[in-house]
Amino acid sequence: MVNGLSFTIEGLHLLSTGTDGHLRQWDVVQGTNMLVNYEACTNASQRAVYFAVSPRSDPPLVFHPHNGNRISVCNLWEGNEIARLRAAHFETINAIVYHPYKEEAYSASDDGQILAWTPLLDQARTAFTTVTPAEPRHRHYNGLPQNRAPRTAAAAMAAAQQDNWSDDEN
């Protein structure tokens, strides 16, 4: 059973996710499966899955819930996982949307939180991360927004090596 759909920005491809555990990319004009292997984007949910495609990143990215409270970020055209956003939510992620004008993804969860994710750019890749010891990499929307992430290569490299929990005590 298909329980999630999302178009690419130009509308020529449609992504579907289903209870068989697979994410698929379809050519809308030809009506064919593009056979992209999104191995990291699995779906065990029996309810609707809301995932997002980035409109302008290079390469375009798919943001898909992964194992409850994590997000897989995959290359749209190749399917390989570029990053995994780790455990910032305490419950299952219900929805992910991508801002149409900013490089930001937003996730909502059963824990009542809406988090904003911003990219940190370095020379090798785009890294989306949760937090570093000094400053949050996401903002909580159950209260006042926290600071935005710095966009320096040094911060990206440091954040890529960290796996810290966020908290609301900042």
Domain extent listing, the chain: 2-160
What is the rounded CA–CA span in Å between residue 115 and residue 55? 19
CATH class of the region 2-160: mainly beta
Percent of the chain with pLDDT over 70: 69
Q: What is the pLDDT of residues 34-82, one digit of tens each?
A: 999 998 888 777 888 899 999 888 889 999 998 778 899 999 999 999 9
Greatest Cα pair distance, the chain, in angstroms, is 52
Which of 18-27, 53-62, 68-77, 133-142 is predicted with the least confidence, judged by mean pLDDT?
133-142
Please report which helix (H) or strand (E) contains residue 158, including its range: helix 153-160
pLDDT at 96 over 90: yes
For 90, phi and psi rounded to 5 degrees?
-100, -10
Name beta bridge partners: 121.
126
What is the rounded CA–CA span in Å between residue 40 and residue 125? 18
Residue 29 CB neighbours (<10 A)? 9
pTM value is 0.70
What is the rounded CA–CA span in Å between residue 157 and residue 170? 23
Predicted confidence band of residue 159 (pLDDT cuts 50, 70, 90): very low
User: What is the per-residue pLDDT for 128?
Assistant: 52
